[in-house]
A and B are shown apart, each in its own frame.
Chain A
Amino acid sequence: MGKQKQQQGTISWSRTCYSIDLAEAGPIAVRATRTRGGVTCTGIDPADPAVRGSLEGSTMVAGCLAEREGFSRWLTAPFRSERKSKQVLPSMLDIQLPFPLEDCTYMFLPGGITADGKTLALAVAARTAEIRKKLDAYTRIGADPVTLDQEGIALWTQSILEIPVEKEATRVVVSLSKNFATISLGKGNQFIASHSVRQGAENIVRILRTRLGTPPQALEWAWTGPGATPENVEAIFPSLLQDWPGKSLYHKDPRAFLARAIATRALSAGPLRCNLRRGEFEHRAIAARKQRQHLTTSLIILAAGLILAATSLATGTLAGRRLTQAQADFSRQVDRLAGYHVAEKGEKALAKVRKAQKARLMVNRPFDEAFEPSLVSTLVTILNVGKENNLTFTILELGKDKNTLNITGACATWNQCEKLSQRLRDLGYAVRSDRKETSDGRIYFTIVRGGPNDRT
């Protein structure tokens, strides 16, 4: 499950809060601080003037609706898609209610995907009248809770947090108060349902029969609540054990258990977090935070847009400047080469340069040629090859730029004159050779300009 979903319904941006359980016997409050290892709670007296001052001040307060003031239902939407499921869940909830959904404040807590690919959601709701009544009750003690949790779910998540449930065991969390008992049950870490009943073993058994049918193999009874004294538990537990045998567990400081649960759920992210103070009841601190978040998002988008725009403009300008610089450099180069200002740009300017260059090369040619390899070296090479291969020349004619080449002569074997042809090719001459054997046994050859490499 995503962190964002787990933070839904919490005030996890705050490190501390007060949480108040408006119990039958009077309010029970704790001061909670989020630490690295979890949430640390300290009991406080809401009637204490110092605490009252804090409650009326800027300190965050977390509250809770009693189980009988709201309800929760598991719903299965026939889609895997979360978006589609969100569209049908309100209608599915509406069908199950004996009153109009419009009279309720509700939210859907993600419950995962079923094996057959459907979306499971826990609907948590309360009638708006109940919420209003609860907020009035909080106002009477000088508190304005930022969150309104749901008792049954809070009892369940706190119970399995404080005493982890054994694998595959079914747990029944019984929170005893003065006249009522809140029962929250689940299997493993999975919450099943919660109910509020009048105290008495028969009422609890009725709920278990409805929800579980038959006793499970492993059952844990977790006792908590202001009325969970050993005497009270002893009064009802033996009757329960007859049909629903199981292990009995006591939560520490059972009186402040619900207040701890509300505080822990408000300050830390986790599964099944909920806040029914929403819509018309939304606390101004949450509304202001949402506003700030929207504002921040808009500012981030604005900044991103401005950065993108600035980067685009800067990149475009830089590229344009680079091109202008390259054009200016080339223009100066062209002017230097031409010896005057060339008005043309690009390819046309280059054509002018080529023309000027050709004219300059023509007049400077005798000077340039003075530093090129001499024809004498070619002549010496030919004479040396001739000497090495016993060639007898009858005509040896050479011209500059490899334009003139005419060598005729005689040798003893076919390959001797070929060595000369190859040497001339190595010197860059395109040559064509012709050999002929005569009656005297000598090979007469002619080497002239030509052949496949002749580009002159």
Chain B
Amino acid sequence: MTALDPRPALRSISIAVVIVAVALGFNTIRTLGTCSSKLKEYVSYAEEAGEAEKAAARSAAAVAMFDSLPDPRPVPLADLLKKSLSGDKYEIVERPAEPTIEGWQATRREVTLPEIQLARLGDFLAVVETQRPPWRLVSCKITPTGSQGGMGRVSLTLDALEKQPK
């Protein structure tokens, strides 16, 4: 019995395998192109989401900081005014504040000082902003009064965060 020559079959198989491999290669190149562009998209999405996560983390840290205060209620402005600008007239009006997270409320006060020595204004502002929790200057309007040099009318809007009683 003569042994079958394996060469023609092997050659055919080899050629078929090469053809399939080349086709697979082309398909892979196409797939890689698609995958690459999709990956680029997802990388940019992930970057944007990452920035959002950082911002969220910063916010959470800020809230945690306020939560950790021993007495999370702002010092009344009237007390601070008496302390820093004793003798000067003032008027405090409560204004609606911005909404915030549950358990906290943002309070807003408008302070009007009809005539003060403007040089003393800095001392007052330094005191209010270093409180724990602080009062924060939101807007101000200074108009010098003609009566004496260095005197003026000051209108201040100040915000503070206050923990709501449970």
Contacts and interface: CB of A to CB of B under 8 A. Distances in A.
Interface in A274-313: 291, 294-295, 298-299, 301-302, 304-309, 311-313
A248 interface: no
Given A294-B7, A301-B18, A347-B45, A399 B139 contact: yes
Contact of B55 (A320, A329, A361): A361
B59 A368 contact: yes
B59 A361 contact: yes
B142 interface: yes
A365 B100 CA distance: 7
Contacts of A419: none
B78 interface: no
A35 interface: no
Nearest to B154: A396
A422 interface: no
Interface in A383-404: 383, 392-400, 404
Given A326-B42, A366-B161, A368-B59, A305 B144 contact: no
Interface string A313-357: 101100110110011011001101100000000110110011001
Interface residues of B, number: 64
B28 A337 contact: no
B17 A353 contact: no
Contacts of B92: none
A259 B27 CA distance: 60
Interface stretch (A55-63, A118-126, A159-167, A370-378): A370-378
Given A291-B7, A366-B98, A370-B62, A346 B45 contact: yes
Given A301-B18, A350-B45, A357-B56, A404 B7 contact: no
Interface string B84-123: 0000000000000111110010100000000000000010
Contact of B25 (A308, A350, A354): A308
B15 A380 contact: no
Contacts of A327: 42
Contacts of A396: 140-143
A361 to B, nearest CB: 7
A395 B143 contact: yes
B82 interface: no
A367 B25 CA distance: 56
Interface in B48-90: 48-50, 52-53, 55-56, 58-59, 62-63, 66
Contact of B10 (A295, A308, A379): A295
Top 5 closest pairs, chain A to chain B, by CB: A305-B17, A308-B21, A309-B21, A312-B24, A305-B18
Given A308-B25, A329-B46, A374-B137, 15 more contacts: A294-B11, A299-B10, A301-B14, A301-B15, A313-B24, A316-B24, A323-B39, A326-B42, A346-B41, A346-B45, A353-B48, A367-B161, A376-B137, A400-B138, A404-B139
